[in-house]
Amino acid sequence: MMTDVVEQSGETAGTADGNPVARFGTEEPVAAARIAEIRERIDEIDRTLIQLWQERAELSQEVGATRMASGGTRLVLAREREILERFRQALGADGTQLALLLLRAGRGPL
């Protein structure tokens, strides 16, 4: 019965013995099915975030290359502070850390 619910949701147990608790943290079929649905959406969001991360890094690298090719500076610190502040305001301290990672992906380490 548990297997039927989980298979209908598109996610099968990932353990050798098919233990639903190991896979979903519960033996309750309705809860396991809902967890499988939520995880499917999380995986979609993750794929989108990865694509956007890569696109953002490419665009940022292009900005830097264009700026340097025209005789400009490698970095514009005012712009980096603006991005850090935007993320901090929206997400708090974790936003600052995320922004630092995004900036590094686009410009490389300092």
Distances (CA, A) of 87 to 47, 53, 97: 21, 15, 9
Mean pLDDT of the chain, nearest integer: 87
Query: For residue 20, what pLDDT is reported?
Result: 77
Helix 93-107 to helix 77-91 angle, to the nearest 10 degrees? Answer: 140
Give yes or no for a contact between 28 and 34, defined as CB atoms under 8 angstroms apart.
Answer: no
| pTM of the predicted structure, to 2 decimals | 0.75
Q: Is the dihedral of CA 29, 31, 32, 34 positive or negative?
A: positive
Distance CA 2, CA 33 (A): 9
Distance CA 53, CA 35 (A): 26
Query: For residue 17, what pLDDT is reported?
Result: 58
Note the pLDDT tens digit of each residue in 51-65: 999 999 999 999 999
pLDDT above 80: residue 39:
yes
Q: What is the mean pLDDT of residues 8-13?
A: 44
Q: What is the CA radius of gyration of the chain?
A: 21
Q: DSSP state, 99?
A: H
Tokens representing 17 are 């013995």
